[in-house]
Structure 1
Amino acid sequence: MAMPVQELYSRPQPMVPYRSDAPVWPRLLVFGGAAAMTVLFVREMYAVLSVARLTPIETVMLALFSVNIAWISFAFAVAVAGVLALVFCRARLDLPQRGNRLPLGRTAILIPAYNEDPARVFAAAAATAEALANAGAARAFDIFVLSDTTNPDVWIAEEAAYRALQDRGNPRARIFYRRRTRNVERKAGNVADWCRRFGAAYPYFVVLDADSLMEPDTLIRLALDIEARPGVGLIQTVPMVVNRNTLFARVQQFAGRVYGPVMSAGLAIWAGDDGNYWGHNAIIRTAAFTGAAGLPHLPGRPPFGGHVLSHDFVEAALMRRAGWSIRLVPLVGGSYEESPPSLIDLAARDRRWCQGNLQHARILPARGLAWPSRVHLLTGIMSYVASPVWLMFLLAGLLLALQARFIRPEYFTEEFQLFPTWPVIDSERAIGLFVATMAILFLPKFFGLFVALADRTVRRGIGGPLRGALSLLVESLIAALLAPVMMAIQSAAVLDILIGRDAGWNPQRRDDGSVPLVEIAKRHVNHTLFGVLLGASAWAVSPQVFAWLTPALAGLVVAVPLSAVTARADVGLALRRVGLLTIPEEFEQPEILRRAARLAGELDARLGGQVEAIARLAADPALLAFHRACLVPDPPHGRGGIDEPLVLGLARLRSASSIEQALTWLSPREKLALLADPEGLDRLVLLPHAKAAE
């Protein structure tokens, strides 16, 4: 299929008539309520600060507070709308039951992979294929593992895992595997490449992540619903976090399961047909995607230029611009994902997402975008900008205290003033404002708990009202300690991007293995030093200022032990044993999760763990033949059309006397180039071993 690149700054012709069935009341509640709350809070903050005429520092502090309180008020208004939607509009948040129906059109399930554990990726593919076959829908779905892997050992292990699935020989849904020689434009380019090569055969496709799964009934219902609604371009589910063991991940898992439904319901009810796309666990109409979502390269160099990193938001906005409905169905269920196991892993992923979301500032002025699409882009930007705004607010407060202590105030602000103006902040008002702010921050958590307790299955899964409430307190305490550390991490990320540093593209660590303490200390020592310096500065001003900063200081000062403890699986599992931070899916694990875990163990045993690529190929002639048959010519690239890693790799092979010597000489890029070239492959496998060479 053709997938033309879209022009951002010229209005295209719509592909289908634009329609929206969002009720009016959620938008009035969310945007009107957030605006009213922001005005009230800003007026109260002004009253706190303006006992005398506002100083420049107080003006800056008020401006920063306005930005942050608008962000918090918006989230609170979405939570309120979510509770009302769950009570009064549940049918709008779900899909129709399928009965015995099956979709008429074919759907592809895409699993993009980048240096992932092959056993887990192909186990997910096989478990999905088996589940669809058991549901009688094998002919309606095909599965594609789309590899962008650059690690040569992982690449060959992927082929070995695919061969292992072929050897099983069961009549299941078909599984295809292909690896791109050059991973242009990362995941977005991977999916776009599939669309151009294979999209015409499939009216719809589902995108999964390497750590996500969907139950067969959910896949079938999604295919039936998009088939029945010709104007719908994309239906996004809300994946539940599962299979997590570390304390950090279990906190995320509990929060997503208990608070997530309220927030996602609020988002779904106000967005209506103007929803958003989160990059995975969604079904997409292929014609809509190829016709409207071809991503342009942004002018300039990274981090703001180049290809679009956070492509999902932009693809949804472009499809909506073309008239296609983008729907969110938070109650459909049967959609699962995993989350980073530690704060360090989350920070690594967040750095890339931060750069992608800040890129959206270049997308916001695009012509023809629906205003809700601009809101989605803006909220993505604010999710990272809020951290440096909060940090600057704290620093402005410290400067204000320093000003009050060391700079003589102006008591008579006018020429003919009989009585002095005492520049003392209204402490009672300040305390009331703090309490109100904390209320709108934490009330959405209680909304989520009340909704969870109203559902018998969820109530049992979180341990009932008492354990559910205790879990909420544990989660809130850990989240409060982690928040200032994330503030520092995200503020540094934003600064990095503003000064022009590119994030690159690193694979994610998904297992629950503990992070070495040395690595944790190295990553968080600056946060601890910053917390100590900030605390010492506050104490030097006054104990009251130190007390005001204590909520932020606590997490920063204990960043190293906090990150270390939350990265431990034994701590998380200990809380599970006493019934805290639990979710229903742990006690009644869905069959597809169990099957994927069993298949991953079987495939891992079959693959023999991590094995060097050449050794794996040399030990399995059938795999070597399969690998050679999969090689495709790579068009010339680089300077003068020369593949430099391949040329250097071939030169090193000519000088090597054994395979062991060659492997010590070859860089990963050179080894990868040789494995992708027929001549290089032959020379590699024909090299003798060191003992044989002697």
Structure 2
Amino acid sequence: MSGAGEAESVPDLTGRWKAVAVMRRTVLTLLVVSQTLAGVYGMLSVLPYHGGDLLEQSILLLFALLFAWISVGFWTAMLGFYMRRRGGDPQSLARRHDAATLAATPLARTALVLPIYNEPVDRTLAGLRATVESLRASGQLDHFDFYILSDSRDADVWLAERAGWYALCRELGLEGRLFYRHRPVNLNFKSGNVADFLRRWGADYRYMVVLDADSVMGGDTLVRMVRHMELAPRIGILQSSPSLINARSAFARFQQFANRIYGPLFSTGLAALQLGEAAYWGHNAIIRTEPFMAHCGLRRLSGFGLFKGSIMSHDFVEAAYMGRAGYQVWMEPELHESYEESPPTLVDELTRDRRWTKGNMQHIWLLFFGRRIRFAHRMAFINGILSYLASPVWFVFLVLTSIEATRLTLWPIDYFPDPQNSMFPVWPEWHPHWAVAMILSTFFLLFFPKFLAVADVLLSGGRRQFGGFWKLLLSVFLELFVSMLLAPIRMLAHSRYVLEALFNVSLHWGGQNRTDETGWLQALISQAPGTLLAAGWAALALWLDPMFFYWSLPVALPLILAAPTSVLLSRVAIGRWLRERGLLLTPEEQRLIPLVSTVAEPAPLNPTPLSAFEVAVIDPRLNRLHRAQARHRRTVEPDTLRQWAQRCLEQGPATLNRFQLNALARDADSLAWLHRQAWRATPDGYWGRRIGQLGVAVRGA
């Protein structure tokens, strides 16, 4: 097994990538800076006092930040288009070894780890089953073991997970190869769960592949990743670029289409800029376990407020620590058959973003106080921070431009805005043509890369994979319209999340919704503040100046319509209607891919109308399983447990709270006693009826 010091002992035969990376990043910086300076010059011509006072200088500063942010995305997409049209990046891992060399490379022992937290059990394990079957088809299954690492807190969830694991072991013949662990203490979220695995089993494996609950990966892709790692001992993390699949709601379908049509350009450009100093996204990646254990442990932040305590967004930090230890981190867009799913609704996406915002804001501390972190990984921190900080910057920019419009309309003109130069008056000037030019140039930077992505699809001969030329074009225009509707809603939500993060507002993370639609009441409550704010802003703009009102509409109108937008986009029926008409199609929907289709409608592993706790009490095999897995150290007094068990026997588990159910489910004696008493119950009693229902379900299955 390779040692932690291997990065220093193995010569770096691919050092040229570093020089190429510096050159590419330098060119990108020059392009972004020059484009931003041109934009600021144009904005100076638009502002009435040409930046002659503090208000306009503040507007210029915020404009420069936003324009530079947009410019980086524009040139990243341009680089991605260039690389794809030339057949790929010559510096990428995919171009380093030919097929014969890869095929001749032996595999090393690898663990696939699946951390989960209150997830839909059947869907989660269906994804794992599909990955296992794909590995079996590749002929390399024997080199892989599988670990389900549960942090779930509800007894009905983790008992169902354990029962599903047991059924999956029997179905796939993976006894002794597929493991399940329910962590009794949920410490440090997902990173703590993975760390717990590494402490227990990490030394047994050269590599681990980290999955998410909605991840699916192809066997050939996993084998290829292991072989790339074997051929390059200096690589610590190899990240794939997952594609979105199985979208059902309209919102998820729009996200899925955008990911598949625009994603290849941006991911290829990003990979070409980062090369061996890429970011780690926390899943669908392979990691060299020994250096990861030696160098990527996450210490608690030592600052104050937000910057004190556990690191929430761990993945970028782990990549930075791996780079600091002398190992490379690569992202390879050409590793296909790597999939995940999109949140089904806008509400669920924003709920997830709330936690991600706080985690990324924590990186501000590491950006300035992280020791020996490479410049490229500090830039990755900045990229993650600006992903959310750009929203309050945009919001403040809108506020300041509104103040500017108010000042010009209601206040007397100030001919001497600069007290130090009061001898010379400044005459306010308005140049509408400059304002139009600035708006058009900004739209060009935002939307041209999307049409460039369409051109890439057409030049690659992939139009039929997206429904044909005209449906592809119509889908792009629909996606542009929806993205413009969602942008102000996300802006306002992210602005709030940034403030919450900076004031260290505590968060509760209860797992992700992957199926439910958004109700009208939920949408009205969640979007009411933004709707009221936008309506007031639009009314003020109309009162001040009709032209300013028209200028405000692209932001104000989506916020006013946020609630119906959120509800309608969550509807599965609308998503189905779009698919039936050939809109927002993706390649995975156009051809049968078993890896994807098997998780679209997952079959239940344990079909029964009963709760997982009820099945754990009644079913003899599962009762023995759960008793064998139960903890031996009790945290509740035996007499108290017996009282709860008696109440559960007489009145059913619904009369107990979550803590009480968890305590009973973790106690072997309580499970054994409940099992014996349930089978002695009368047929018309609570447990007698449940036994009858379970028998019908088993016979039906």
Tell me the TM-score normalised to structure 2 length. 0.90
What's the CA shift string for 1:2-25, capped at 9, x where partnerless? x99xxxxxxxx9797885614244
In the TM superposition, what is the alpha-carbon distance from 1:633 to its structure 2 partner? 4.5
Counterpart in 2 of 1:87? 85
State the partner residue of 2:544.
541
Counterpart among 362, 382, 400 of residue 386 in structure 2? 382
Aligned residue for 1:612?
Answer: 611
Tell me what 1:21 maps to: 17
Alpha-carbon distance change, 367 to 166 in structure 1, aligned in 2, over 3 angstroms: closer
SS of residue paired to 2:246:
coil
Distance 1:281 1:73, change over 3 A: same
Contact kept in structure 2, 1:143 and 1:173, CA below 8 Å: no
SS in 2 for 1:21: helix
| Corresponding residue for residue 691 of structure 2 | none
Contact 1:235 1:283 in 2 (8 A): yes
**Cα distance change on mapping 1:651 and 1:242 into 2, 3 Å:** closer
Report deviation, 1:665: 4.8
Question: What residue in structure 2 maps to residue 370 of structure 1?
Answer: 374
Query: Do 1:650 and 1:680's aligned partners in 2 also have CA atoms closer than 8 Å?
Result: no
* Alpha-carbon distance in 2 for matches of 1:425, 1:352: 43
1:377-415 deviation digits (Å, cap 9, x = unpaired): 111000000001101111111111111122211235689
**Which deviates more, 381-390 or 242-251?**
242-251
Amino acid at match of 1:671: L
Q: Which has the higher contact order (CA 8 A, sep 6+)?
A: 1
Question: Displacement, 1:682?
Answer: 4.7
In structure 2, which of residues 214, 218, 238 is the aligned counterpart of residue 215 of structure 1?
A: 218
Do the aligned partners of 2:238 and 2:332 also contact (CA within 8 Å) in 1? yes
Offset at residue 29 of structure 1 (A): 2.8
Instruction: Determine whether 1:268 maps to 2:258.
Output: no
After TM superposition, give the deviation of residue 258 of structure 1 in Å.
Answer: 0.8
Task: Give 1:295's aligned residue.
Answer: 298
- The question of whether the paired residues in 1 share the 8 Å contact of 2:159 and 2:612 is answered with yes
Give me the whole-angstrom Cα distance separating, in 1, the residues matched to 2:476 and 2:333. 22
Q: Which one of 31, 34, 40 corresponds to residue 33 of structure 1?
A: 31
Partner of 1:251: 254
Task: Quote the offset at 1:162 in angstroms.
Answer: 1.4
- Matched residue type, 2:404: L
Counterpart in the other structure of 1:188:
191
Shift of 1:307: 1.1
Change in Cα spacing, 1:671 to 1:15, as seen in structure 2 (3 Å) is farther
Moved more, 295-304 or 145-154: 295-304
User: What does the per-residue CA deviation read over 1:429-460, in whole Å, with 9 as the maximum and x for residues that have no partner?
Assistant: 1211111111101111112111111222x321
Q: Which amino acid aligns with 2:402?
A: L
- Residue 518 (structure 1) aligned to one of 521, 524, 527: 521
Question: 1:557-590 CA distances to partner (integer Å, 9 max, x unpaired)?
Answer: 1111111111112212212222221111101132
Equivalences for 1:486-505 in 2 at 5 Å?
486-505=490-509
Counterpart Cα distance in 1 of 2:529 and 2:466: 37
- In the alignment, which residue of structure 2 is the partner of 1:437? 442
Larger deviation, residues 93-102 vs 668-677: 93-102
Which of 407, 413, 423 lines up with 1:409 in the alignment? 413
Identify if the C-alpha distance between structure 1 residues 130 and 97 changes in structure 2 by more than 3 Å, giving closer, same or farther: farther
TM-aligned CA deviation for residue 341 of structure 1: 0.7
RMSD (Å) for aligned C-alpha atoms? 2.8
Q: 1:200 to 1:407 in 2, by over 3 A?
A: same
**Kept in 1: contact 2:641–2:664 (CA 8 A):** no
Q: What amino acid maps onto 1:157 in structure 2?
A: A
- In the alignment, the residues of structure 1 paired with residue 41 and residue 61 of structure 2 have an alpha-carbon distance, to the nearest angstrom, of 12
What is the deviation of 1:269? 0.6
Which amino acid in the other structure matches residue 351 of structure 1? R
Alignment of structure 1 residues 599-678 onto 2, 5 Å: 600-603=602-605, 606-608=606-608, 611-633=610-632, 643=635, 646=636, 650=640, 653=643, 656-659=646-649, 661=651, 663-678=653-668
Deviation at 1:510, TM superposition (A): 1.2
Cα deviation 1:665-693 (Å, max 9, x = unaligned)? 53212321332233454565566679769
Q: Tell me the residue number matched to 1:8.
A: none
Distance 1:244 1:664, change over 3 A: closer
Give, in whole Å, the separation in 1 of the partners of 2:644 and 2:164: 31
Q: Which residue pairs with 1:146 in the alignment?
A: 149
Q: Counterpart amino acid of 1:616?
A: V
2-structure distance, mates of 1:48, 1:398: 14
Report the Cα distance in structure 2 between the residues aligned to 1:613 and 1:660, rounded to whole angstroms.
Answer: 18
Gapped runs of 5+ residues in structure 2? 688-701
Q: Distance in 2 between matches of 1:16 and 1:581?
A: 47
Which secondary structure does the structure 1 equivalent of 2:17 belong to? coil
SS of match in other structure, 2:309: coil
Q: Which of 296-305 and 138-147 deviates more?
A: 296-305
1:69 aligns with 2:74: no
Q: Counterpart amino acid of 2:293?
A: T
Q: Deviations over 1:470-500 (max 9, x none)?
A: 1111100000011001111111111112222
Aligned to 2:693: none
Aligned residue number for residue 332 of structure 2: 329
Deviation at 1:58, TM superposition (A): 1.3
Partner of 2:694: none
SS at match of 1:259: helix
Give the AA of the match of 1:386. A
Q: What's the counterpart of residue 46 of structure 2?
A: 48
Query: What is the letter of the counterpart of residue 520 of structure 2?
Result: L
1:508 aligns with 2:516: no
Question: How many residues are matched?
Answer: 670
Find out whether 1:455 has 2:453 as its counterpart.
Answer: no
Is the 1:649–1:666 Cα contact (8 Å) retained in structure 2? no
Question: C-alpha separation between the residues in 2 aligned to 1:26 and 1:565?
Answer: 43
SS at match of 2:301: coil
From 105, 108, 115, the equivalent of 2:118 is 115
Deviation, structure 1 residue 526: 1.7
The amino acid of 2:128's aligned partner reads A
Contact 1:133 1:173 in 2 (8 A): no
Aligned to 1:7: none
Equivalent position amino acid for 2:463 in 1? R
- Residue 101 (structure 1) shift: 4.3
Give the whole-Å Cα distance in 2 for the aligned partners of 1:658 and 1:419. 86
Give the deviation of 1:469 after TM superposition: 1.6
Amino acid at match of 2:630: L
8 A contact 1:129–1:174 mirrored in 2: no
Deviates more, 1:225-234 or 1:74-83: 74-83
- Paired position in structure 2 for 1:358: 361
Distance across 2 between alignment mates of 1:304 and 1:685: 49
Deviates more, 1:651-660 or 1:293-302: 651-660
Structure 1: give runs of 5+ residues left out of the alignment: 5-12, 637-642
Matched, 1:159 2:173: no
Give distance in 2, aligned partners of 1:222 and 1:206.
9
The whole-number CA distance in structure 1 between the counterparts of 2:639 and 2:307 is: 34
Report deviation, 1:126.
2.0
**Is residue 396 of structure 2 the alignment partner of residue 392 of structure 1?**
yes
Matched to 1:541, the amino acid is: L
- Counterpart check, 1:585 vs 2:588: yes
Q: Secondary structure in 2 aligned to 1:76?
A: helix
Which residue does 2:109 correspond to in 1? 106
Shift of 1:427: 2.1
Change (3 A) 1:616 1:51: same
Q: 1:693 to 1:245 in 2, by over 3 A?
A: closer
Using the TM superposition, give the Cα deviation of residue 135 of structure 1 relative to its aligned residue in structure 2, in angstroms: 1.5
Shift of 1:86: 1.5
TM-score (norm 1): 0.91
CA distance in 2, matches of 1:150, 1:206: 24
Contact 2:77 2:265 in 1 (8 A): yes
